[in-house]
Chain A
Amino acid sequence: MSGPAGYRPAGTGGPFRQFLSDGWVATWRNLLKIKRVPEILVFTILQPIMFVLLFSQVYGGAMAVDNYTQFLMAGIFAQTVIFGSTFSGAAMAQDLKDGIIDRFRTLPMSPAAVLIGRTNGDLAINSISMLIMMGTGWAVGWRVTTSFWGFAGGVAVLLLFSYAFSWVMALLGMSVRSPEVINNAAFMILFPLTFISNAFVPIHTMPDVLRVIAEWNPVSALVESARQLFGNTYSEFPAAAAWTLQHPFATIFLGVAAMLVVFVPLCIRKFESISSR
């Protein structure tokens, strides 16, 4: 059967080209969203500037230690990119609510592409935030003391970790179906998670219980990795003796691999069964 007059059969290009094209279209949609939603722009550009300035100037003075700004910067980077990953959760929940997921799911597109596009959106947000923070950090005296490759490696570790975390948040967003819940959960869970770590203070200053949590908190390993790569480690701020912090790269590599191996398939499976109510 040929179909109605003007029928345009779908499907140019082979499966792989279609997959790449779907991924790009989904990414493009999320990039436009960054440009058009003021809240996202504020988070991406203004908040990082504010955090770098506030923490370095206010705490920097109180700590009365020379290298606090150097020590602090990787912590702020990590906190910001981890929060950046929650956009995937809120956006998947919103898309489900708006019914646009139903539209995607009746099109002959790759289901993974919607999720890849979304997590790429977070990656773009986080890349912009990183640039802004590094610029602001540089202005207040932050310096990378290793090489170009150390610098690039530090940025890559932060972005890679946050990218994998976006998939965790995406699954959460598709499961709770409410952007508000995602935003509240981010606030309630991610603030403690990023503060009970070595991001802002050295772990050895914490009471015992918090210290153990902080040592095994993956955020600590992430921050420690970035510090080592940027060359921002100092004897005033010793890394803890826990295995995770003695082997921060292995910890982060395992963490990222585990998040991707577990959550990418879970996300795709979830996506293939959801529909607006």
Chain B
Amino acid sequence: MTIIEARGLKKIYKAKTGAVHALDGLDLAIPSGTVKALLGPNGAGKTTAVKVLTTLIRPDAGTARIDGIDVVADPKAVRRIIGVAGQYAAVDENLTGFENLEMVGRLYHLGAKAARRRARELIEQFELTEAGNRPVKGFSGGMRRRIDLAGALVINPKILFLDEPTTGLDPRSRLALWGVIKNLVAEGTTLLLTTQYLEEADQLSDDIAVIDGGKVIAEGTADELKARIGGHRVEVTLVDAGDAARTADVLSRHGDGEASVSGDRRTVGVAVVDGPRALQFVLRELGDAGVELHDAGMRRPTLDDVFLKLTGHRAEEGQEDQQTEMENAR
């Protein structure tokens, strides 16, 4: 059963530089009890999509239904069954961690007693005891994030939206959060999660929608997406970076698409249809041309490769912008 459904969503923002098509005909269908990752670089439209689905903004065109309820027609009914953690932690600075969670529980109308009980449970589950009794003001970003995430889980919602839940977290906290998310999903929560991290999408989701320019440009499981760009990649590591251009020529000729050269111009790779055959040809030609190699081989493509192939640019480009965007948002 499809529990999150979006059809032809459009959202246009007017900016100084002209109209920005933040969503440009986005379609999504997420089966109940599954995890979908929206994977895309900065500016792809991930946050805008989450905001439309969680009733924060109205789409300019298209429809979205959550558990069969139209988000524009009956936002309040949608809000009763969802939990949301936005891209930036939304906590009341002047309340303690406990009070923040109690407030959320009461605003879900759990009743005063149940709201307090639930807040206590979450404080323990998220190891927030330290933050529990002091105002949030002055706590680290990671701690706020956890309080915010706990806020999204107050009703153990059947549908959960997490917008870049691990962006800006250190690797240890990221792993811990992955653990929490995996547990939730095991209990049957339907999750829509956005990320710029390909590994994260692979780790957490059943199904990935790659979005760029406000629409879905590819969809499928991680394996299906990998398969779409050919069986393998051939990669060689050069002794002399000066050979990079010549090598790229050879690889492009035997590959399925243009070869890519790494930043230090020592590694050259290309997607290929038939890995072993392509590798044989490539090695023979490079040997004839007298190019010296450190290493050569073939491997299964990573999601990074998928992204490059699908969008023509690397996902990392977006990640570098992330820092400046975070600062601008302050």
Q: How large is the interface on B (under 10, 10 to 19, 20 to 34, 35 or more residues)?
A: 35 or more
Q: Is A29 touching B104 in the complex (CB atoms < 8 A)?
A: no
* Interface segment, one of A100-108, A190-198, A230-238: A100-108
**In the assembled complex, A12 has its CB within 8 A of some CB on chain B:** yes
B residues 246-300 with Cβ under 8 Å of A? Answer: none
**What does DSSP make chain A's interface, helix, strand, loop or mixed?**
loop
Enumerate chain B residues within 8 angstroms of A10, measured Cβ to Cβ: 80-81, 108-110, 155
* Interface segment, one of A30-38, A70-78, A220-228: A30-38
> Assuming the A-B contacts A9-B155, A107-B108, A109-B107, are A4 and B188 also in contact, with contact meaning beta carbons closer than 8 angstroms in the complex?
yes
CB pairs A–B below 8 angstroms (28 shown): A1-B158, A3-B189, A4-B189, A5-B156, A5-B187, A8-B110, A8-B114, A8-B154, A8-B155, A8-B156, A9-B80, A11-B80, A12-B109, A13-B109, A21-B109, A22-B107, A29-B94, A29-B103, A33-B94, A98-B90, A98-B91, A103-B151, A104-B107, A105-B55, A106-B55, A108-B77, A273-B57, A276-B88
Smallest CB-CB separation from A113: which chain B residue? B107
**In the assembled complex, B84 has its CB within 8 A of some CB on chain A:** yes
Q: How large is the interface on A (under 10, 10 to 19, 20 to 34, 35 or more residues)?
A: 35 or more
Enumerate chain A residues within 8 angstroms of B240, measured Cβ to Cβ: none
Which of A7, A102, A276 lies in contact with B155, CB distance below 8 A? A7
**How many residue-residue contacts, CB under 8 A, span A and B?**
123
**In the assembled complex, B194 has its CB within 8 A of some CB on chain A:** no
Question: Which positions in B face A, CB cutoff 8 Å?
Answer: 1, 3, 32, 51, 54-58, 67, 76-77, 79-82, 84, 86, 88-95, 99, 103-104, 106-111, 114, 118, 135, 148, 151, 154-158, 184, 187-189, 329
Enumerate chain A residues within 8 angstroms of B91, measured Cβ to Cβ: 98, 100, 103
Which of A36, A105, A109 lies in contact with B56, CB distance below 8 A? A105
Smallest CB-CB separation from B54: which chain A residue? A106
A residues 1-53 with Cβ under 8 Å of B? Answer: 1, 3-13, 18, 21-22, 25, 28-29, 32-33, 36-37
Contact flags (1/0) for A105-120 with B, using CB distance below 8 Å? 1111100000000000
A residues 76-103 with Cβ under 8 Å of B? Answer: 98-103
A residues 226-277 with Cβ under 8 Å of B? Answer: 273, 275-277
> Assuming the A-B contacts A9-B155, A10-B80, A12-B111, are A99 and B188 also in contact, with contact meaning beta carbons closer than 8 angstroms in the complex?
no
Enumerate chain B residues within 8 angstroms of A28, measured Cβ to Cβ: 103
Q: Is A36 touching B90 in the complex (CB atoms < 8 A)?
A: no
Q: Is A25 touching B106 in the complex (CB atoms < 8 A)?
A: yes
Which of B57, B86, B111, B135 lies in contact with A99, CB distance below 8 A? B86
Q: Is A1 touching B32 in the complex (CB atoms < 8 A)?
A: yes
Q: Is A99 touching B90 in the complex (CB atoms < 8 A)?
A: yes
Q: Is A99 touching B107 in the complex (CB atoms < 8 A)?
A: no
Q: Is B94 touching A21 in the complex (CB atoms < 8 A)?
A: no
